[in-house]
């Protein structure tokens, strides 16, 4: 599988909405398409209009599989870029979760 970066812009109005979509995404990837796509991680970003978007890291057999996964889940895949090489300077920092 190849590594891809996927930008999903202005996709969610709230963290709860994003979490519900993430659950569907994990299920579709793990149960319906395990030999085609694999979700590695996502970075949630606040868009200029206040909605939430993501920058996601996936492994996939090709760009078409990522688009199919997004369609099955019902989420955008605005930009898909193949990763040529990974340079890791430091591991991702651990973030504290907000108290509920």
Written as six digits, the tokens of 80 are 């898909």
Instruction: Give the CATH number of the domain where residue 39 resides.
Output: 3.30.70.3090
Q: Is residue 32 part of a domain?
A: yes
Which pLDDT does position 100 carry in this prediction?
A: 46
Half-sphere exposure of 97 (CA within 13 A, CB side): 3
Q: Is residue 35 part of a domain?
A: yes
Which pLDDT does position 92 carry in this prediction?
A: 86
Q: What is the pLDDT of residues 66-79, one digit of tens each?
A: 999 999 999 999 99
Q: Directed axis angle between helix 15-27 and helix 63-73, to 10°?
A: 120
Q: Is residue 25 part of a domain?
A: yes
Task: Say what the pTM is.
Answer: 0.88
Q: Are 4 and 29 in contact (CB under 8 A)?
A: no
Structural domain boundaries, residue 45: 2-82
Q: Is residue 89 part of a domain?
A: no
Q: Is residue 99 part of a domain?
A: no
Q: Is residue 92 part of a domain?
A: no
Q: Could you give the number of structural domains in the chain?
A: 1
Can you tell me whether residue 42 is helix, strand or coil? strand
- Which residues of the chain are modeled with pLDDT < 50? 100
- Write phi, then psi, for 71 (nearest 5 degrees): -65, -45
Written as six digits, the tokens of 13 are 């109005």
Q: Is residue 11 part of a domain?
A: yes
């Amino acid at each position: 599988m190849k590594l891809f970066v996927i930008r999903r812009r202005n996709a969610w109005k709230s963290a709860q909405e994003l979490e519900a979509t993430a659950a569907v995404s994990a299920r579709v990837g793990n149960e319906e398409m395990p030999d085609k796509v694999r979700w590695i991680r996502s970075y949630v970003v606040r868009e200029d209009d206040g909605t939430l978007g993501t920058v996601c890291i996936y492994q996939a057999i090709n760009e078409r599989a990522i688009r199919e996964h997004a369609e099955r889940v019902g989420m955008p895949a605005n930009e898909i870029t193949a990763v040529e090489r990974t340079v890791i300077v430091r591991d991702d920092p651990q973030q504290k979760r907000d108290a509920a």
